Every structure is written in structure tokens, then in C-alpha cells.
Amino acid sequence: MIFLNLKKLLQNTFIMNKQYTFILSLFIAIFFTSNPLFSQIQTQIDNANIGDVVVVSEGTYNEALVIDKSITLQADGVVILNVAGFVTGINIQSDIANVTVDGFTITGDSSTGSGIVVSPGANDITLTNNTIQSILLPGGGNASPLSYGILCYGDTDPVNPPSNILIDNNSISNVLGSAISLGSDTENVLISNNTFSDIIPVDLVGDGELTSYASIGIQAELSNGLGIESNTYNGLTISNNLIDCNEVAYVQNNTYINSNLMLSTSFPHSIPFGDTPWWSTTWSDGVNNYEAYYNDPTDMGYLYWVSLGIFTQNSLIPGCQDDTACNFNPDANDDDGSCEYADANADCNGDCLEGYTELTLMWSGAVADTMTTSFSVSGSANGELYSATLDADSGSMTECWMTDLQADCFSIEIEGPDGLEWSIYSPLSD
């Protein structure tokens, strides 16, 4: 009916007066510039049943979303969710379980404070394969200077954490201060395979000092069972900021590009930090104690703390890193040049390898003036088995050389001064 009415209006355009022509033109402009995909995804969500997979067709959608039931929201192709003008892009509401958001590009503007929000009590939530960018409203409208690519938070009174959250393989960029924020009280969150870049530093203190500005990859407070693995941090001042987080499962296998401060955390703590090598120092703001882990001991921040004479430690384990050496240390991450190797054709215990036989040569009078003694052993089947120059006047040597003494014939050649005396012992010479 709308299109029929529009057609009739168009047919009568030329007989209308100027006022009606203007009104018609305005109507046409509004009609055709309104995005035809506005609110379509939300309608799909509203009409879905619990457990449904809501497949969103490729396109650009100008809307923010509220998820209030257990569904999988799946992008089919390139799906751009343009949330410019909205405070929150996708809001997963409190106490909702079994939600997946997969494959969306979420783009905001200076009115957008968070790309995706996981609310208190939500559980079994998966956020994967999403691109989140241009989230530029500080604090989502509150006093915080931060905006959030992904915000996941719980209630404290009573305690109602979101739990069993997987944040995997997302890309977050052009956000004020924080890519992922786990507010107070979260439970069993795994953050893996994500990329954080172009996170804009903000003044966390509010004093305008350059040292007060920070850009953070992952921040969390009072998070239990947190795992952080295989993420890439690019150009961040603080990669991970974890305060009073208990029972952290691990922080490991992450990649830090121009992001020297890998972890800042309250001290003491029990976080198993596996991203090596690291150099750490502890410091205090006068009220609380912290530990900071750097991947570069020449970083100016690290050197500042060191200059104050504060406690430092590092992850370096010196030792031999060559797995062919006898004293190879699989735990070593700092090669100290201590590698020791077995003699030729022998094992690390000095025993000849299978197929090799031990020969001991003892001599005296091997050197006269500038003349030294040469020694070689040859086998009819194997050619030269061993050779050496005896440049010490007397001594002995034991070597392993390839042969089966009972199967081959051998010649031993020794050339030296007239006073040379020597004897040879092998297992078959008895």
C-alpha cells in the first residue's frame, strides 16, 4: 500500500503547487535514505525461540541489539552492525545463559561506550570471530575515561558474576583505553586468540601528566578462573592489568608487539605467568603494592623502578639450550655457553656407541725439537678410522673408532722421533 500511494503521488507531482512539491520531495528523500535494514536483526532475535540459531544475512544494519534469551547469533558473510549513535552495540542481559555471537563487525562512534556487554549472572557465553572498532564514548557515559570493546562485569552485593565466558578470535581496535574489561567479579573466563591494536591511551588519573596515560589490552578485578592465552597485543602501554584476581589459570603464549609492560598486577599474587623472558619489579602507591612484568629490561618504566632500588627478579634460567648436548637443560631460557658434548663416536657416559670400539694409545718420546709424532689407524673396509698428532712428549688417549675388530684387517701407522716408545691396547689385544 505504501508503494501504491507513493506511485500515485509521483504521478501527480507536476500538478501540485510548490508547497506540496516540497513536501513530496522531502517525503521521497526520507523514504529512500532510511536504511531498509534498520532493526531487522532485533526483530529476528525477538521472534526467535530459545535455542535457535539466528542467521543474519550479509549487509549493513544500523541498530543496537539486546539479547534476552538463549540463542546463537550467526553472521552469514560480511555483516556490519553500525551502532553509531548507540551507547552499547550488543547487550547480553543479566542471567541469560547459552548465547553465542559469531562473526560480526561492530562499528561505533563517539556516542558508543561499549561494543559488546555481558551483564551480571550471564553464563555460558561465547563471543567469537567478531571485529569491534571505533568505540569512543568515555565510560559509556559515566565518569570513567575508558570505553570498552568488550565489557563483562558482575554484581558484588549480592555477588552475581557472569561465568563460563569464552572470548576467542576477536579483533578490537580504535577504542578508548581498554580492549576488554572484566569488571568486578567474573568467573571462569577464557580470553584467547584475540588481537588488540590502536587502543587509544587515556588519562587514568586525570592530572594531564604524560605518565598518567594508558592503553590496556585486558583488565580485570576480582576475577576467578581467568585464562589468557595466545592473544596479540600491539602498541599497548599495559597489556594485562589484573587486580586482586585469585585462582588465575594461566597467562601464557601471548605475543607482545611494542608492548613492553606485559602484566601489571596486585602484589603478592599467585598468577602463573608463562610469557618469558620477563623482568619484574614491585612498587607501591602508598596504599597498595603491585608487581610489573616487562619483556625488555631497557624499558624506561622498568629502569625507573630499578633506579629506586626496589626488589627485582627475572625469568631467566641459565643453562645449555642445545638438545644435542650432554647437559641440555629443557628449562633453560638463557644460553650461558655451558654446553658439553660427547666425544666422537661415544655417548655422554664415555662409552663407545654401537659399532664403535675403544682404542687406548700410550706413548713417550713423541716430540724432539720441532718434530712431532703422527698417528693413524686404517681399516681395509672402512678406510681411515682415526688420526691424530701427538704433540705432547708423553701421554695417552682413548678413542672410539668404527670397526668390528674380528671382521676387518687394520694397519696402524706411527711416525715420530727415534726415541718414540708407544703401546696400544684394545679389547682384542689380550
Task: Answer with the residue of higher pLDDT: 89 or 398.
Answer: 89
d(CA 71, CA 60): 21
Span 354-384, pLDDT tens digits: 878 787 888 888 888 888 888 787 776 666 7
Residues whose CB falls within 8 Å of the CB of residue 350, separated by 6 or more in sequence, listed in order: 342, 343
Q: Which three cell numbers stand for residue 402?
A: 668404527
Within 10 Å of residue 179's Cβ, how many Cβ atoms? 32
pLDDT at 420: 85
Can you give the residue ranges of every domain in the chain? 2-32, 40-310, 356-425
Span 376-402, pLDDT tens digits: 877 766 667 778 888 888 888 888 877
pLDDT at 141: 63
pLDDT at 381: 60
Residues whose CB falls within 8 Å of the CB of residue 274, separated by 6 or more in sequence, listed in order: 250, 251, 252, 253
Statement: residue 18 has pLDDT above 50: no
d(CA 188, CA 336): 40
Amino acid at 311: F
Task: Answer with the residue of higher pLDDT: 23 or 68.
Answer: 68
Cα angle value 188/135/301 (rounded, 5°): 70
pLDDT at 429: 45
Assign domain 40-310 one CATH number from 1.10.3470, 2.160.20, 3.40.50, 3.30.1360: 2.160.20
Q: Which of 4-8, 48-52, 87-91 has the lowest mean pLDDT?
A: 4-8
Statement: residue 10 has pLDDT above 60: no
pLDDT at 38: 66
C-beta separation of 216 from 241 below 8 A: yes
Statement: residue 9 has pLDDT above 60: no
pLDDT at 311: 84
Q: Which of 98-102, 163-167, 333-337 has the lowest mean pLDDT?
A: 333-337
Statement: residue 119 has pLDDT above 60: yes
Q: Taking residues 338-345, what's their average pLDDT?
A: 90
Q: Which of 1-5, 295-299, 392-396 has the lowest mean pLDDT?
A: 1-5
Q: Taking residues 268-279, what's their average pLDDT?
A: 93
On the CB side of 93, how many CA atoms lie within 13 Å of its CA?
Answer: 7
Span 200-227, pLDDT tens digits: 999 988 888 888 899 999 999 999 999 9
Q: Which of 296-305, 319-328, 380-389 has the lowest mean pLDDT?
A: 380-389
Per-chain mean pLDDT for the chain:
86
How far does the chain reach from its first CA to its final CA, in angstroms?
115
d(CA 223, CA 242): 8
Q: Where are the beta strands (DSSP E) in 169-320?
A: 171-182, 186-192, 195-200, 202-203, 213-214, 216-221, 223-224, 227-229, 232-234, 238-243, 250-252, 255-257, 261-266, 279-284, 289-294, 312-314, 318-319
Instruction: Express as a percent the part of the chain with pLDDT over 70.
Output: 86
pLDDT at 408: 63
pLDDT interval class at 183 (50, 70, 90): confident
The residues pairing with 197 across neighbouring beta strands, listed in sequence order, are 173, 234
Q: Which of 68-82, 106-120, 268-282, 304-318 has the lowest mean pLDDT?
A: 304-318
Task: Answer with the residue of higher pLDDT: 97 or 334.
Answer: 97
